[in-house]
């Protein structure tokens, strides 16, 4: 087990609880074993994710940024001036900040599970943009968004970039978007970045890169589970597997046992046969039609759809 707890803290570790340990244990004992992808993001996992966004194979980050650059004025026209910009999963707030110039929001609400990180980012941002009112919210909004009274109820623009919606399964994506619709108040709109279906070779390379960064990102989950659950995974017993499941229109990431292994943690254990897998993440890929259908079923009317020349990624604006 990893006894280096202080090196690897932050993120999920801060909220470590009996409920989380029970959730992890349930996931490991499932058939097949599976793990909520949030456990990929301890401190090292978040750094690995940031790094893999720079890979030539991982096109979503740079493609989305190019769409924002190319269509910033159209995006601003669709959103209208003076919005209350609610940034979901704001992180370092850089993506939203890149749109401040054209969006001119009157209030910026940054929401992220990591409140400390957010407060630092917002302090810096506030000094650069003193005219925009700012609120930081440390919340796991995937289970429902709670906006305090100080956030005006009109003209809210929810910003959810990075294809994070893709990490929800279809039912959860519908629930999430319907929930946003309900927290929207009057005249809400949505600016969403979503990854699109494309040739499987491109998708497979993006999630199984030559340098092995995505493999390290996936395998690091086991170190995090050792720390959170006091499990005794040996990372060397496992290998990264990622592929596009065309039928389900999703990339699947798994960890596959290289040999038969016994994994133990306080109160339980599980044997994995050679080749057996733990499903660690799904990343759903949409078409223009499937995305529109999802939005409409959740009470949103898509108004604009911007894409890159290759049609690999989309930024969508929708209204209530
Ligand atoms: C955060 N999320 C949108 C990424 C994705 O593409 O699904 C996570 C990721 N997993 C492997 N590479 C990137």
- Judge whether residue 266 has pLDDT over 70: yes
The ipTM assigned to this model is 0.99
Give the pLDDT confidence score for residue 91 in this predicted structure.
85
CB of 12 closer than 8 Å to CB of 142: no
Cα of 106 to ligand 1 centre, how many Å? 31
pLDDT band at 16 (very low <50, low <70, confident <90, very high): low
Give the pLDDT confidence score for residue 273 in this predicted structure.
98
Instruction: Specify the residue with its C-alpha closest to ligand 1, atom 2.
Output: 164
Residue 154 DSSP label: B
Mark out the alpha helices in 161-199 (DSSP H runs). Answer: 170-183
Cα of 283 to ligand 1 centre, how many Å? 7
pLDDT per residue over 105-134, tens digit each? 999 999 998 777 788 889 999 999 999 999
Instruction: Specify the residue with its C-alpha closest to ligand 1, atom 12.
Output: 207
Instruction: Specify the residue with its C-alpha closest to ligand 1, atom 5.
Output: 283
> Which of 207, 215, 249 maximizes ligand 1 atoms within 8 Å of its Cβ, making it the mutation to test the pocket?
207
Give the nearest ligand 1 atom to 49 CA. Answer: 13
Give the pLDDT confidence score for residue 120 in this predicted structure.
85
pLDDT per residue over 198-245, tens digit each? 999 999 999 999 999 999 999 999 999 999 999 999 999 999 999 999
pLDDT per residue over 157-180, tens digit each? 999 999 999 999 999 999 999 999
Among candidates 265, 228, 269, which has minimal Cα distance to 18? 228
Give the nearest ligand 1 atom to 251 CA. Answer: 7
Residue 6 DSSP label: G
Residue 82 DSSP label: S
Cα of 314 to ligand 1 centre, how many Å? 15
pLDDT per residue over 17-73, tens digit each? 889 999 999 999 999 999 999 999 998 998 999 999 999 999 999 999 999 999 999
Give the pLDDT confidence score for residue 173 in this predicted structure.
97
Cα of 319 to ligand 1 centre, how many Å? 26
């Amino acid at each position: 087990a990893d006894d280096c707890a202080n090196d690897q803290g932050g993120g999920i570790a801060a909220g470590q609880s009996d409920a989380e340990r029970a959730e992890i244990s349930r996931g490991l004992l499932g058939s097949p074993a599976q793990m909520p992808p949030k456990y990929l993001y301890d401190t090292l996992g978040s750094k690995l994710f940031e790094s893999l966004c720079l890979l030539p194979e991982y096109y979503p980050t740079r493609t989305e940024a190019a769409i924002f650059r190319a269509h910033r004025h159209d995006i601003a026209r669709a959103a209208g001036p003076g919005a209350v910009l609610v940034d979901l999963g704001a992180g370092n707030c850089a993506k939203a900040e890149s749109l401040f110039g054209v969006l001119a929001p009157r209030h910026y609400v940054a929401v992220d599970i990591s409140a400390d990180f957010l407060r630092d980012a917002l302090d810096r941002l506030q000094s650069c943009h003193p005219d925009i009112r700012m609120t930081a919210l440390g919340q796991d909004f995937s289970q429902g968004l709670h906006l305090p009274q100080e956030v005006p109820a009109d003209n809210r623009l929810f910003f959810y970039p990075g294809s994070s919606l893709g990490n929800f399964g279809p039912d959860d994506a519908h629930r999430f978007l319907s929930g946003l619709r309900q927290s929207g108040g009057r005249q809400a709109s949505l600016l969403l970045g979503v990854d699109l279906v494309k040739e499987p070779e491109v998708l497979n390379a993006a999630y199984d890169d030559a340098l092995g960064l995505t493999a390290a990102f996936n395998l690091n989950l086991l170190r995090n589970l050792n720390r959170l659950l006091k499990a005794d995974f040996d990372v060397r017993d496992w290998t990264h597997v990622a592929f596009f499941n065309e039928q389900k229109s999703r990339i699947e990431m798994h960890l596959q046992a290289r040999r038969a292994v016994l994994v133990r943690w306080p109160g339980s254990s599980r044997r994995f046969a050679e080749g057996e897998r733990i499903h660690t993440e799904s990343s759903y890929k949409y078409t223009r039609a499937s995305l529109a259908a999802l939005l409409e079923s959740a009470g949103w009317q898509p108004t604009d759809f911007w894409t890159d020349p290759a049609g690999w990624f989309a930024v969508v604006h929708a209204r209530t």
